[in-house]
Amino acid sequence: MKLRGWVLAVLFGLMFCASASAKIPPDLIQSFNVALEKNDSAAILLISEELIAAAAENPDDPYAREIAFEAGTQLCIREACDRARSAASIMRGPASQEVSAELGNLLIALSEWSVEQNSKTSTALEKALSAVAPQQPTLLTIVAFDKFHAAKLKAGNLAQTQKIADLAIAHYAPVRAVIPENWATVELSSIATTFSRKRGSEALDRLARLEVSLYPYILEEQDDRPVLKDLYYQTQAWRYAITSWFRSHPSSHRRAIAAADEYVDTERKKLRKAYYETRERPPRYCRGGLDKTPSPNYPRDALKEGYIGAVLIGFDLEVDEIRNVRVLAAVPDSKFEKAALDSMKNVRWTYNEQQPEPDCSKANSQLVTIPFQFVMWP
């Protein structure tokens, strides 16, 4: 995402016209806008602090609140939100048309939480996020939701993680096409934490829909958006892992498993067909498969602890050689990775003797994926 100062880029022109009433140096604002255009982080950090100080010294300046807010936002998105704490006095003042009371409170809460994370600052930040959730997303709200969600996830608090993730999903909805990484991250988190707490089959439907929504980024093969590819593979691994869990427990979820599989297969075919209607199709690759089915051993520690999960393995195929075998995603953690990788050591790729298209290509440059599901059969 390209970072832009959506307040100051407009305000500079206004301040230039109203210089008689403005007390914050216009050249300082101009330097800030130039630094934003160049994405000069070092300059942005330095000038942001100077702008907050200037706004604090001139609280009666008609643009002091907007300037302090924008400068504070830029500090927060550059991992320096603790340095935005000095803007608190201005944010506690009257709200303006550009910066609502809720946004001002969020900047205060986020900066104080960044200085010290404790129950008091966490409660204040959660309250501030709840207040801005119905509003239009801004750079600050997105950064705040992402940081707070990551902290709750790291702490292992499932209930709090799910609550923040669900708030973020609703907040990101109007701009999810612009920030797909942020939206998909909290969506996957919400699905995983919800399933961990309730074990409901609706998780399969949500995972299937998330997987399909991320598939176009796989078709595009965009190397500049690796997070989306990782999220796609993580989503697949979670769907296989939850399927493993249902198969390990007597249940009536067979229809949900089949429905999720069918939905993903059908929608991916549709997306792929639509994608290549306006693009050149890749070469028709010769059909083939592994010479034997990999049979990983169930790790003893995972078996002893009752772990169930899945690993998504990927490899490159060069003519008939399997290369660069690697783990694309593993759920719930790395317990099954070694077993899956070890099972791939003695397998080979063979092409079918009969090919539908005799002139097919064996130079397959596409990634081949294989899911491994670790199931404890009831």
- Cα distance between residue 203 and residue 201, in whole Å: 5
Instruction: State whether residue 41 is helix, strand or coil.
Output: helix
Predicted TM-score (pTM) of the model is 0.89
- Cα distance between residue 364 and residue 44, in whole Å: 46
- Domain assignment present for residue 228? The answer is no
Q: Which amino acid is at 205?
A: D
The backbone torsions φ and ψ at residue 74, rounded to the nearest 5 degrees and listed phi first, read -65, -35
Note the pLDDT of residue 378: 61
* Residue at token pair 């690796």: 226
Q: Sheet of 367-374: strands edge to edge?
A: 321-331, 309-318, 367-374
Count of the separate structural domains present in the chain: 1
Look up the domain containing 357 and give its range: 288-374
CATH of the domain at 362: 3.30.2420.10
Question: What are the residue ranges in the chain where pLDDT is below 70?
Answer: 1-22, 222, 252, 364-365, 378
- Domain assignment present for residue 306? The answer is yes
Query: Around 282, how many Cα atoms within 13 Å sit in the side-chain half-sphere?
Result: 14
- Domain assignment present for residue 366? The answer is yes
The CA-to-CA distance between both ends of the chain, in Å, stands at 48
Q: How far is CA 373 from CA 105, 192, 241, 245, in A?
A: 47, 17, 7, 9
350, β-bridge pairs: 289
Note the pLDDT of residue 14: 32
**pLDDT tens string 218-265:** 988 767 789 999 999 999 999 999 999 999 887 768 899 999 999 999
Note the pLDDT of residue 62: 86
Measured on CA atoms in the order 262, 263, 269, 273, is the torsion positive or negative?
A: positive
- Residue 331 near residue 244, CB atoms below 8 Å: no
- Domain assignment present for residue 79? The answer is no
- Domain assignment present for residue 330? The answer is yes
Measured on CA atoms in the order 221, 165, 172, 207, is the torsion positive or negative?
A: positive
Mean pLDDT of the chain: 89
How large is the angle between the packed helices 139-155 and 180-198, nearest 10 degrees?
A: 30
- Residue 345 near residue 280, CB atoms below 8 Å: no
**pLDDT tens string 312-339:** 999 988 777 899 999 999 998 899 999 9
Burial class of residue 131 in the structure, from the number of CB atoms within 10 Å of its CB (0-12 exposed, 13-18 middle, 19+ buried): middle
- Domain assignment present for residue 329? The answer is yes
